[in-house]
Amino acid sequence: MKTRRGWRANTKAPENRYKMGLLRAMTAAARLSRDRRAWIAAGAVLVVAVAVGVWVQLAGRQDGPPDTRARQYREFDACLLTGDKGIAEGTRAASAWEGMQRASSETRARINYVPVTGAQSVTNTRPFLNSLMQRQCGVLIAVGAPQSRVAQEAAAQHPEVWFVLVDGASTAGRGKAGNVTVAEPDDSLPGAVADVIRRAVDASGQ
């Protein structure tokens, strides 16, 4: 009996080894299949990422010459000196700024403004005007009583600069200097400011 059972065991052993080998092969194949799918998925993600990167670079690249519609400004600055409200809507400075914008669109002159902060006095205004003069302004528009007074003082020292005074109080100093224009603080202010800038730009030869 022992011999028979041993024979039967020996006859089943190759079959069991075959089954185990087949099972291992199937398991390895399944694992390889999963790994292969993972590699395929990773490759697909990589391809998509590369494609997106290329598209972003192409989208951000500007083909051909630069946009000719971009404004090319002249080497000419028109400056505005205002009170502490700056160019807030409804102020005289806002009307002057409107005229400056109009002249800039026509002449391509650069425009900027500086508000006087702190005390609205001649003493406190003078440093602000001096900072503008350091910018080599071709035209300086002063809106406000202390601003106009300080600008009028500077006009005699800077005959090459065109000054526009807007104080709304008086026309003192009108005609005393050839480079000073006293503009009325009414509806004509934008046009008067724009006209001075146009003439100054033409005279500069820029």
C-alpha to C-alpha distance for 126 and 166, rounded to whole angstroms: 16
List, edge to edge, every strand of the sheet that includes 77-82.
Answer: 110-115, 77-82, 139-143, 162-166, 180-182
Q: What is the pLDDT of residue 202?
A: 96
Q: What is the pLDDT of residue 59?
A: 37
Region of 164 (left: φ > 0; alpha: ψ -120 to 50; beta: rest) is beta
C-alpha to C-alpha distance for 168 and 182, rounded to whole angstroms: 10
- For residue range 101-143, what is the model confidence (pLDDT) as tens digits? 999 999 999 999 999 999 999 999 999 999 999 999 999 999 9
> Has residue 89 got a pLDDT over 60?
yes
For residues 56, 58, 60 and 62, what is the CA-based torsion angle, rounded to 10 degrees? Answer: 180
Phi, psi of 174 (to 5 degrees): -60, 125
**pTM for this structure?**
0.64
